[in-house]
Structure 1
Amino acid sequence: MENTISTTREKKLYSSAFILYLNFFIHGIGVSILGQQVVKMSLAAQWGTTDDAVTIIAAALGLGRLITLPFSGPLSDKLGRRASTLIGISSYIIFFLGLALSPNIKVAYAAAILGGVANSFLDTGVIPACVEIFEPKSGLATMLTKLFISISQLLLPITIGYLTLNKIPYSSLMYGCAIALFVIGVLVTRIKLPNSNNSGSAAKASLIENIKNTKFTKESLALIAIGFTCTATFQLWLNCAQKFGTEVAGMQNVGQMQIWYSVGTLVAIGLTSVLVNKIKEVRFLFVYPLISLCMLVIVLLVKTPAICIIGSFVIGYAASGGVLQLATATVNNLFPNIKGTITSIIMIASSLSNYTILTLAGKIGETSGPQSVMLLNIVITAIGVLLALLVNLRYSKLENSVKM
């Protein structure tokens, strides 16, 4: 009888996890839609501005995320995963409606900031909730977020192509996302979630208080820093590698790089989701960046179109295929009582990477060219490999300290 009750409960929780992951399917569209050229041109005409200005709007997503992450995690620990998720859903609805209806760039900028707010609350609501549902398979729980994001990003260009072919306004996609989020929100209010195993003090503490009350070792700080370095690796490739392919490797169709990058990411998600059940998450934090580092060096030295395509697949697999999610799962295991807060911290590191490294890459690219940007990526990825080596050498000691 007890086994039947337990099985029924597990099925309900897995159904809850699926509904929570649907938020990340929509999130994949939210973080990608402003990068689609035809959508950018349409929005630029709507706002009476230029394509470059739309890129600035996209940057506001990161700003909203940075502003909110310091307190979204503690709020998740205090109010619960459901409340945090609903805040994220509400903010994302405003984001999509804001893009569709905004008459000018100022309103759109405000809507984009709310999109970043949504991202941070979903990160600190959905991810810890799913980690708690799938425990002890926390690596699988975080990898599935990447899976849902990657599927929607793969489908997005196809959907936009369909809208273009049939002359349907792109705003219809934004309205559709808002409606879908509303439905998901209603479902989130009804689903069963596990009780968070936070201590009372941790649940009520602010981010600063949690940091003061938590003993951070050099290894745990290295894990947080990996959130910075692994993000830099795939962001630099996504934003700068196509220019390298065109100007240095002589590629004619650099769009192939994006296709193979996406394929690599999806392959990594499928394979890694299986492997994390047999191998500790922390091992991937060393092996995958090391693969990325070797591939980046080969691309810089060989400089041919074929190598750029191979490099796109490998970087998609090893850099974008879940390293950030696995780092998040690993650090959650080390700080089980403040999962929301620690998720906030590592996502802050990731967001800082988006801003600082891409800004630096833009300046280096203007003065020294795409090869120097590729070298920058190599240096940062090498730092990530060294950080992961430190964590791996000391991880058994860290695990024992958590158990004690």
Structure 2
Amino acid sequence: MKNKYMPTAISLYMNYFVHGMGVIILAQNMAALAKQWGTNAGGVAVVISSLGIGRLIVLLVSGMLSDKFGRKPFVVLGVFTYILFFAGIMLSKTIVIAYIFGILAGMANSFLDSGTYPALMEMFPKEKGTANVVLKAFISGGQFLLPLFVSFLVASKIWYGWSFVVCIAILLLSVIFIITAGKFPAPNSDAPVEEEVVTEDGKEEKTPGNLWLDGTLFVLYGYISQATFYLVSQWLSQYGASIAKMGDTSSRALISYYSLGSIVCVLVTAVLAKKAVKEISFLGVYTCLSFLSLLLMYLFPTALICSIMSFVVGFSAAGGVMQLGLTVMSSFFPKGKGAITGAFYTAGSIASFTIPLFTGMMASNLANIFLFDVVIALIGFVLAVLITIRYRHLFKSDKGAAEIGKANS
């Protein structure tokens, strides 16, 4: 059926196509930016960390304000803030100024999230999951194409700033349409009265999860899952060039393989989810694959292994595993979806801030950076196993799990 919000939705998706580029654009232009700011790779990594702190500053508040003032203002605010980031990075001459603009990028991400995710669910109330999965695909699409474009600029000896200019141009076209013709539903227009979770005797069932035990496991998982793919997305090209001895174009292509893997995972997960495969079934498998693929890249840093494992780690670590973790968490805490979303993604934002600081201190030895990611991925697998054990314990029957799932739908 024709949906009157489809043109607006396409603009929202294009914003996240650019966001996918924005997440890795500093790392992809690391050499040029280090020279411009008079620093080294470690200094650029510090600037990259500012994106995490910017996201952390406004993440919790922007979501609540979006419910009050509507989605459109926060989408527009997010786009304009992102434009300031891209322009500011090109013009900044010192690492301090660049850090400030990096904070703006993190804030832009939070503004976009607070307006876009709710808006898409309200635009497509019967296809909420699919709407958000497509968003992830656009992010991965941006991460797939940017390294190819940057490689072309480097090979052609063209100014690196064109990669930033293209992002600005797309965002300007998008925000002009959103301001002049964008249509948004009323906030929470899709929200039905939430069903009570009840037992067979008719009594209301308490939240099945333990706040301290399960809550801690999921918050840690939110941090670790973000850290795993964020670290590899920032350092994969440099690892391929320095450790695997790959050429400039080949090493940059690793990010494209990584992004392609995440796109394939989005499609595979969507298909399997429609066949009633539960989210908890993906969690342990994907985190195990992340650990094994990173371990193989560390132990056997050849061009072939890095190319294949880049696809696998993109599939397993960046194809929506965080969203799956949040969905499982909502089964444990069905009556606190807003609070758990804030806590889960705040943990991820802390990872975006702290991981570049840690890796910046190890920038002189890229092998150690990947060993660090191997350890992080192993911790993620352990957490996924513990969460799975808790899930099996709390939801011993398919009937009980189904009741919880119905309450979350």
Shorter-chain TM-score above 0.5: yes
Following the alignment from structure 1 to structure 2, what is the Cα–Cα distance between the partners of residues 240 and 306? 17
Following the alignment from structure 1 to structure 2, what is the Cα–Cα distance between the partners of residues 336 and 85? 28
Structure 2 vs 1, CA of residues 300 and 381 (structure 1 numbering), >3 Å: closer, same or farther? farther
Q: Pick from 184, 193, 196 the counterpart of residue 193 of structure 1.
A: 184
**Contact in 2 for aligned 1:231/1:350 (Cα 8 Å):** yes
**Contact in 2 for aligned 1:137/1:277 (Cα 8 Å):** no
**Contact in 2 for aligned 1:28/1:150 (Cα 8 Å):** yes
Q: TM-score, normalised by structure 2?
A: 0.77
User: Does 1:172 pair with 2:183?
Assistant: no
SS of alignment partner, residue 142 of structure 2 = helix
User: Does 1:234 pair with 2:229?
Assistant: yes
Structure 2 vs 1, CA of residues 298 and 19 (structure 1 numbering), >3 Å: closer, same or farther? same
User: 1:103 deviation in Å?
Assistant: 4.0
Following the alignment from structure 2 to structure 1, what is the Cα–Cα distance between the partners of residues 346 and 17? 21
Q: Which moved more, 1:231-240 or 1:27-36?
A: 231-240
Structure 2 vs 1, CA of residues 358 and 387 (structure 1 numbering), >3 Å: closer, same or farther? farther
Q: Which amino acid aligns with 1:109?
A: Y
> 1:400 is matched with which residue?
403
5 Å-filtered alignment, 1:3-402, equals 7-8=1-2, 11-36=3-28, 39-164=29-154, 167-189=157-179, 190-197=181-188, 217-218=209-210, 219=214, 222-238=217-233, 251-253=244-246, 255=251, 257-278=254-275, 279-296=277-294, 307-329=305-327, 342-357=340-355, 359=357, 369=368, 372-373=371-372, 375-390=374-389, 392-393=391-392, 394=394, 397=400, 400=403
Structure with greater helix share of residues: 1
Structure 2 vs 1, CA of residues 142 and 326 (structure 1 numbering), >3 Å: closer, same or farther? farther
Q: Percent identity at matched positions? A: 34
**Contact in 1 for aligned 2:42/2:363 (Cα 8 Å):** no
Q: Which moved more, 1:23-32 or 1:185-194?
A: 185-194
User: 1:153 deviation in Å?
Assistant: 1.6
Q: Deviations over 1:310-330 (max 9, x none)?
A: 433222111111111333455
Q: Which amino acid aligns with 2:313?
A: I
Q: Which moved more, 1:256-265 or 1:68-77?
A: 256-265
Q: TM-score, normalised by structure 1?
A: 0.77
User: 1:150 deviation in Å?
Assistant: 1.4
**Contact in 2 for aligned 1:229/1:353 (Cα 8 Å):** yes
Q: Which amino acid aligns with 1:191?
A: G
Q: Deviations over 1:74-119 (max 9, x none)?
A: 1222222222212211211111121122343333222111111001
Structure 2 vs 1, CA of residues 359 and 159 (structure 1 numbering), >3 Å: closer, same or farther? closer
Following the alignment from structure 1 to structure 2, what is the Cα–Cα distance between the partners of residues 392 and 113? 37
Q: Deviations over 1:294-323 (max 9, x none)?
A: 545666677776555443322211111111
User: 1:23 deviation in Å?
Assistant: 0.8
CA RMSD, aligned part only?
3.7
Structure 2 vs 1, CA of residues 390 and 131 (structure 1 numbering), >3 Å: closer, same or farther? farther
Q: Which amino acid aligns with 1:268?
A: C
**Contact in 2 for aligned 1:140/1:277 (Cα 8 Å):** no
